[in-house]
């Protein structure tokens, strides 16, 4: 078990490092969707895939985000996951709407992310018409998350997700799937799904 955990951690760190150097240098900044209805967007989302990042390296299953409205400009953000040790871990923060689909997400006590105001670091760049899934990231594409209202999607949905991720300027081989108890059970590069 320890070898598996170490191997997983090493692979995630390597992919995260590769992602930092593989961000498309000449690509235009990530653009937001033209319209975001925050009231429809709030609620629970399941992470189906993401660019590896140090803050979620120990998340191995059931990564979720729950968004709850506070007022017309602020949304409570509660991120949680099941860790390598099998425990639930979470953090609570705030998302402030800067523009239609561009938000500044902050978390108290997290270096460089503890201020409620700041530049947009959460861009909703794709949103299904029925708000069933979304692709979000930061303007430079260092972070990227595929979020879904359901922890399970079929093969056709995975293909659509991969297409949207690639059309949005992400490298789908550097984005890894995020296992869910009911859905995909393994961590794989999105390009292999």
Q: Which of 133, 113, 116 is nearest to 54 (CA)?
A: 113
- Total domains in the chain come to 1
Residue 7: what pLDDT? 39
| CA torsion, ordered 10, 12, 13, 19, to nearest 10 deg | 140
Q: What is the CATH number of the domain that holds 32?
A: 2.40.128.20
Q: Which of 78, 60, 59 is nearest to 69 (CA)?
A: 78
Q: How far is CA 39 from the centre of its chain?
A: 19
pTM of the model: 0.86
Pairing of strands 43-50, 59-69: antiparallel
Residue 110: what pLDDT? 85
Residues in contact with 96: Cβ distance below 8 Å, sequence separation at least 6, in sequence order: 73, 74, 75, 103, 104, 105, 106, 116, 117
The rounded average pLDDT for each run of 10 residues, N- to C-terminus, in the chain (193 residues) is 39 43 62 95 98 89 98 96 95 94 92 87 97 96 97 97 97 97 95 96
Residue span of the structural domain in which 124 resides: 2-192
Question: How far apart, in whole angstroms, are the C-alpha atoms of residue 119 and residue 115?
Answer: 10
Residue 26: what pLDDT? 56
Residue 21: what pLDDT? 38
Q: Which of 182, 2, 189 is nearest to 84 (CA)?
A: 2
Residue 29: what pLDDT? 87
Phi and psi for 45 in degrees, rounded to 5? Answer: -130, 145
């Amino acid at each position: 078990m320890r070898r598996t955990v170490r191997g997983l951690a090493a692979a995630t760190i390597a992919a995260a490092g590769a992602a930092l150097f593989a961000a498309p240098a000449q690509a235009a900044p990530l653009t937001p969707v033209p319209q975001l209805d925050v009231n429809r967007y709030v609620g629970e989302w399941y992470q189906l895939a993401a660019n590896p990042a140090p803050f979620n390296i120990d998340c191995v299953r059931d990564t979720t985000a729950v968004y709850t409205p506070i007022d017309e400009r602020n949304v409570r953000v509660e991120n949680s996951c099941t860790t390598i040790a099998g425990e639930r871990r979470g953090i609570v923060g705030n998302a402030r709407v800067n523009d239609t689909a561009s938000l500044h997400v902050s978390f108290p006590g997290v270096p460089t992310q503890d201020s409620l105001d700041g530049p947009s670091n959460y861009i909703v760049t794709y949103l299904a018409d029925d708000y069933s899934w979304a692709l979000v990231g930061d303007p430079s594409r260092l972070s990227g998350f595929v979020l879904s209202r359901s922890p399970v999607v079929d093969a056709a949905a995975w293909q659509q997700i991969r297409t949207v991720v690639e059309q949005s300027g992400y490298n789908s081989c550097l984005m890894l799937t995020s296992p869910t108890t009911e859905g995909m059970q393994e961590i794989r590069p999105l390009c292999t799904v």
